[in-house]
Amino acid sequence: MLEVGITHTESIMVTEQNTAAALGSGTVKVFGTPAMINLIELTCAQSVQGELEPGQTTVGTHLDISHDAATPIDMEARCTSELIEVDGRALKFKVEVVDDLGVVGRGTHSRFIVDEEKFTTKAYAKLNQ
């Protein structure tokens, strides 16, 4: 059962592959914002997946995130999420990303519970229009 207060943490090592330079979001070799966003989405999705009905999943719908500090290659970035709102199938999370020296980014992320098969079928129906 989905209830406000569910928390979860995921982490990733910063490597050459997830830098801003490698992802095209900048030219510096530090943890890229797209990689941070991916870590946030992963953390939130994983936090609730075990509470969903068979065949259900969540999809990201909104991000309001700040990226406040650079994390260099060979340092770990950790994201912690907390489910702060459940409104039917709409979920809202508070998130914070940190490295060994402090806060890297924070904000909120919204996800929506969907039937995975129906969602995928509808998305791919666009190819036949």
Catalytic residues, by residue number, are: 33, 41, 67
Total Cβ atoms within 10 A of residue 64? 11
- Distance CA(89)–CA(108), nearest Å, equals 17
| CA 6, chain centre distance (Å) | 15
DSSP 2-44: --TT-EEEEEEE--GGGBHHHHTS-SSSBB-HHHHHHHHHHHH
